Amino acid sequence: MSIAPSSSTGGWRARLSEMFPFDWELLRIAGAEPIPHHLKRWWFALGGTVMYLFVIQVVTGIALTFYYVPTPEEAYASVGTITTGVRFGWFIRSLHHWGSHFMIVAAILHMLRVYFTGAYRHPRQLNWMIGACLLVVTMLFGFTGYSLVYEQLSYWGATVAANIAEAMPLIGPTAATFLRGGLEVGSNTLTRFYVLHIGLLPTVALVLIGLHILLIRLHGVTELEDEGQPVPEEKRFFRFWPDHATTELIVGFVLMYLLTIMALIWPAGLGPAADPTHTPEHIKPEWYFYFNYRLLKIVSLKVSVVATLVAGLAFFGWPFIDGWLIKRKWGRELPLIIGVLAFIGFLVLTVWESMT
């Protein structure tokens, strides 16, 4: 379908298009992707928000890799050098730090939006499961990334996490040894976390994100039911480019602005350096693990690990559970109630842990 001129008549333009025979028309068509008009609602931009934040993390993360040294002896000092010795080091690091928190919040909000708009239902079950994996990957990003700083809480948080992993039925000890790279948290652990954080997890994330977006394109974005006023046919869709893209760019700028403000007012700091001989009085994981940590303190280790695993599996396979519930004619209200209760439970445990 290309109407590019041939080299015998078009000169250099023709030669270029022979070197790279891509049909640019495809891009324009892709850009004219019809977006359901309810996406003009800003809270439908949450998915794009997560992806944008992922890009921020990759870009700032690559910069940080130029100066970070992943050995127990030098890790902490290299983070310190970045924070105080490199131009804009404190800023790039703070963007990365706050970006990680924002990304997890955005992922959770996006997940809630998808859940409460029922966008996981057939035929979109696969995309929900990919999304669930992405949420776990994001939390692992946060966990491994924080451990790289090698502060006291980094070291001991990793130790506790490995101990919890060890309590998993059957695969526990293997998982813990895999995480630690041995029987104890040490330089092997740091290396592993580094590889996970800058190599394995980004690759997995990219693949999953690619699949996630591909599935969205293939399925189209779910239209909302029961919207109220009927929408005229010609207004039911609008263009990805430039309309929706501009919306996303606005969201992007707002995020950059917020992140910059956070970086200016609460720049990322450094706690005391990791000391394997001295356990701090209070070890706490990052806030997105509070719910799990709290659960641990209420019930026994085994119970909480099993409960977490069961809940995780339910979360992962939710479209099928939901489908089963609907078949049972328990209405569409039950998923809503379950969702609200689960989220409230998560919040309660998180806030409870944050207060102690």
Partner 1 sequence: MADDETAVGEPGAASESPLTRRSWLGIAAFWGGLAVGYGTLAWQYLAFLLPARTKPRTRLLFAGSLSDYPVGGAREVHDLEGNEVLIRRTEDNLKAFSSRCPHLGCRVHWEYEQGSREFFCPCHGGVFDADGNPLAGPPAQGNQHMEEVKLVIDEASQTVYLEVRDVPHQERA
Partner 2 sequence: MSLSAKQFTVGFLGLLFLAALLIVAFQESKQHRVEEKLDPVVTATNRGCVDCHAKDSPALVMQWEESAHARYGVGCVDCHLAEPEDIDGWQHEGAWISALVTPLDCARCHTLEYDQFKGSHHAKAGEILASLDNVLAEKAAGLPDNIADAVNGCWQCHGTIIRFERDEQGEVLRTGKENRPVIDPDTWPNSGMGRLNPDGSKGSCHACHSRHTFEAKLSRSPENCGKCHMGPDHPQIEVYNESKHGIAFYASRDDMALDKEGDWVLGRDYSAAPTCATCHISSYMTPQGEVITNSHDVGERISWTLRPVISTKLNMVVYDDGYKEDYPDGKELPAIGDTVETNEKVVEDFELVTKTVPRTVASVVTWEQRRDSMKAGCLNCHNDTYVDNFYVQFDSLVELYNEKFARPAQQWMDMLTADGVLNPDAPFEHEVQWVFWELWHHEGRRARHGASMMGPDYTHWHGMYEVSKHYYTEFLPAIIEAAESQSAALGEKYRGLVEEHLAQPEHTWMQGLSPEEAERLRQMYQQRYGEAGG
Q: Residue 128's closest CA among 140, 146, 116, 139? A: 116
Q: Report the nearest approach of partner 1 to the CB of residue 91 (Å).
A: 7
Burial of residue 47 (CB within 10 Å: 0-12, 13-18, 19+) is buried
Binding residues with partner 1: total (CB under 8 A): 26
Q: Residue 107's closest CA among 341, 332, 315? A: 315
Residue 59 binds: one of partner 2, partner 1, none (C-beta under 5 to 8 A by kind): partner 1
22 vs 257, beta carbon nearer partner 2: 257
Residue 29 binds: one of partner 2, partner 1, none (C-beta under 5 to 8 A by kind): partner 1
Query: Which string of b and e fits 284-306 if b means at least 16 CB within 10 Å?
Result: bbbbbbbbbbbbbeeeeeeebbe
Query: Is 171 a binder of partner 1 (CB under 8 A)?
Result: no
Contact region with partner 1 (CB under 8 A), list: 81-89, 161-169, 270-278, 294-302: 81-89
91 vs 98, beta carbon nearer partner 2: 91
Q: Which of 133, 140, 209, 237 binds partner 1 (CB under 8 A)?
A: 237
86 vs 112, beta carbon nearer partner 2: 86
Residue 84 binds: one of partner 2, partner 1, none (C-beta under 5 to 8 A by kind): partner 2
Residue pair 55/87 in contact by the 8 Å Cβ criterion: no
116 vs 253, beta carbon nearer partner 1: 253
Query: Is 234 a binder of partner 1 (CB under 8 A)?
Result: yes
Q: Report the nearest approach of partner 1 to the CB of residue 37 (Å).
A: 8
Residue 261 binds: one of partner 1, partner 2, none (C-beta under 5 to 8 A by kind): partner 2
Residue pair 197/58 in contact by the 8 Å Cβ criterion: no
Query: Is 91 a binder of partner 1 (CB under 8 A)?
Result: yes
- Cα R_g (the chain), whole angstroms: 24
Residues 3-22 that bind partner 1 (CB under 8 A): none
Count other C-beta atoms under 10 Å from residue 161's C-beta. Answer: 21
Query: Is 29 a binder of partner 1 (CB under 8 A)?
Result: yes
Residue 332 binds: one of partner 1, partner 2, none (C-beta under 5 to 8 A by kind): none
Please provide the DSSP assignment of 263-331 as one string.
Answer: HHHS-----PBP-TT---S-----GGGHHHHHHHHHS-HHHHHHHHHHHHHHHHTHHHHHHHHHHTT-T
Contact region with partner 1 (CB under 8 A), list: 32-40, 104-112, 157-165, 201-209: 32-40
Count other C-beta atoms under 10 Å from residue 180's C-beta. Answer: 22
Interacting residue ranges for partner 2, rule: CB under 8 A: 40, 84-85, 87-88, 90-91, 242-243, 246-247, 249-250, 253-254, 256-257, 260-261, 263-264
Contact region with partner 1 (CB under 8 A), list: 68-76, 248-256, 261-269, 287-295: 248-256
Q: Please list, in sequence order, all residues whose beta carbon lies within 8 angstroms of the beta carbon of residue 82, skipping any fewer than 6 positions away.
A: 64, 67, 68, 89, 90, 92, 93
Residue pair 102/95 in contact by the 8 Å Cβ criterion: no
Residue at token pair 């006023």: 229
Residue pair 110/46 in contact by the 8 Å Cβ criterion: yes
Give the whole-angstrom CA distance, residue 143 versus residue 100: 10
Residue numbers of the site for partner 1 (CB under 8 A)? Answer: 28-29, 32, 34, 37, 59, 63, 66, 85-89, 91-92, 234-235, 237-239, 242-243, 246, 249, 253, 256
